[in-house]
Structure 1
Amino acid sequence: MEDLKTIRMMPDEIQIWFAGMDDQLTDVHKYEAVLSPVEISRAQRFYQLRDRNRYVVKHGILRILLSYYAGSHPGQIQIHSSSSGKPYLSNQSDNGSLQFSISDSDGLVLFAFGRHTMVGVDIERVIELPEMEEIVVSHFTNREKREFTSYPESERLYLFYKYWTRKEAVLKAAGEGLLRPLDCVNVTATGDGFKTWRVRIGGTALREFSIRDMECPKGYMAAVSAASHFSRIAVHQFHAGR
């Protein structure tokens, strides 16, 4: 098991952490102890206990990881959200160099951290979607639609989630995850390694985003993006008892 205290973030590196939220439920009180009053209030709004506990675990782990990267106690981390919903730290001594993103789906949570570059991450549980074709029509660009329909139907579910996670990751890295529709980002389903797209988000000028698909547990798909080039990804698994 890795020791958090030994982990260092290299230049041009994005660090990724996976965590199974349900695997951490025995430590839910430990995670709750580091949450802010606002986060505790939000957790209490969940009707289902499982959803409440998952929220506590997710945000508790985030604070623990941020504490090592930012050099602060987990309970002293001040997390705020922009008008578009992108989280950021407000009490950094180095002008906000530490950037992060978080995404979860069906019990699995994914965290991304970088320095001096905006980052975005998205993870999705791959499930059959009866409305998949309608979503493609409504949320994909014309080029993406043409590419999507050029593939055999047996491959389209996989392609759908590849498009979706890449587009979500770019929008999160751009800091516009809740403000822009998915069809304002034009990506491609080809390629699995590091790739840089020149993306026009809405009517804005072209911007470059690096994108990388992530290896995930079976049944999930994920992508990470950054607003600058990154040459390395370090992937870690967060375990209870760290």
Structure 2
Amino acid sequence: MSDACPSPMPLLDLRADLLRGAAPALRPLRPAEARVWWMPVPPPEETGPSDTEGGLPDHPVWSRLEALVSEDELERAWRFRFARDRMTYVAAHALGRLMLSQATGLPTDHWRFTVEAHGKPEVISPDGGPRLRLNLSHTHGMVAAALTKTADIGIDVEHFDRSSDIGLVARRVFAEDECAVIFAGAESGHLPRFLRFWTLKEAYVKAIGKGLAQPLKRISFDLGDRSLPPRMRLDGATDPAPEWQFRQVLPGPGHVLALARETVDPAAPVTLSEVTLGL
């Protein structure tokens, strides 16, 4: 993986808050800040057997996470066939609620969401407060959340265990110059580069709220280097799109994460944190 993907940040330890049933200590979100959290989620066999068929592992942290999410979120989680998918779904939504509560001081059960066109969830912000934009992502072994005020934002995290034919997918959804980068050099580098492009595209289409209704071939990326973050071009344009900013990190040895946010201030900070809840 390229040096353009920095290593994870120091841990944000929320274990004490979670286990005593409290919201995290208030840390207000700065006006132009993008806040990004990610959290590793161990496989089911490492946190004990499920206490009910089709439920979550019988572990005190999972009991608290389950208590943080809404009835609707739990109902959607139980529809997943595999335990690891139920776990990452619940963990992602609990993480998002904790993030909102830390930024505002409001309790985790305060938050409600609407669904816009193409299925994009949106936070119902407090009366008289700024419009909060939360986006979630979950994959095998990792969940992530991103939060801003007002600006559109999208996040995607993927695991390096993809088994599909990346050549077929790349030719269908990636630009020619992206394919040339993906398949250059040794085969061992193909999948990591594929996922770098894939997460950037997914983060962008989640941010604009169109999902796969947005043709992915119309979006192309330069992956960046030590001095430059990833940059996006639309519809074959020569210059990068100035209205969007991107970041990419390795949240763990088996994952890659991408963030897309609408540009509100070129110098606006991105705060990156790995979260631990005691799993």
TM-score under structure 2 length normalisation: 0.74
Structure 2: distance between partners of 1:125 and 1:143: 24
Tell me the equivalent position of 1:75.
109
Q: Does 1:216 align with 2:216?
A: no
Cα deviation code 1:121-146 (max 9, x no counterpart)? 11111136461111111111233234
Structure 2: distance between partners of 1:211 and 1:167: 10
Q: Does 1:144 align with 2:178?
A: yes
Question: Is 131-140 or 63-72 further displaced after alignment?
Answer: 63-72
TM-score under structure 1 length normalisation: 0.84
Q: Does 1:232 align with 2:235?
A: no
Structure 2: distance between partners of 1:102 and 1:217: 17
Structure 1 pair 215–13 and aligned structure 2 pair: CA distance change class (3 A): farther
Tell me the equivalent position of 2:157.
123
Structure 1: distance between partners of 2:30 and 2:125: 22
| 1:72 CA displacement | 2.4
User: RCO greater where, 1 or 2, for CA within 8 Å and sep 6 or more?
Assistant: 2
| 1:179 CA displacement | 2.1
Contact 1:85 1:178 in 2 (8 A): no
Structure 2: distance between partners of 1:177 and 1:194: 23
Tell me the equivalent position of 1:106.
140
Question: Is 168-177 or 30-39 further displaced after alignment?
Answer: 30-39
Contact 1:118 1:173 in 2 (8 A): yes
Aligned residues: 237
Structure 1 pair 153–107 and aligned structure 2 pair: CA distance change class (3 A): closer
| 1:117 CA displacement | 0.6
Contact 2:155 2:202 in 1 (8 A): yes
Corresponding letter in the other structure for 1:78: R
Q: Does 1:12 align with 2:32?
A: yes
* SS of residue in 2 equivalent to 1:84: helix
| 1:77 CA displacement | 0.5
Unaligned runs of 5+ in 1: none
Q: Does 1:157 align with 2:191?
A: yes
Contact 1:199 1:207 in 2 (8 A): no
* SS of residue in 2 equivalent to 1:238: strand
Q: How does 1:54-65 map to 2 (within 5 A)?
A: 54-65=88-99
Structure 1: distance between partners of 2:67 and 2:176: 48
Structure 1: distance between partners of 2:164 and 2:67: 41
Structure 1 pair 55–154 and aligned structure 2 pair: CA distance change class (3 A): closer
- State the superposition RMSD in angstroms: 2.7
Cα deviation code 1:161-220 (max 9, x no counterpart)? 11111111111111222422322312123435434535359xxxx772111111321121
Task: Name the % identity.
Answer: 24
| 1:39 CA displacement | 1.3
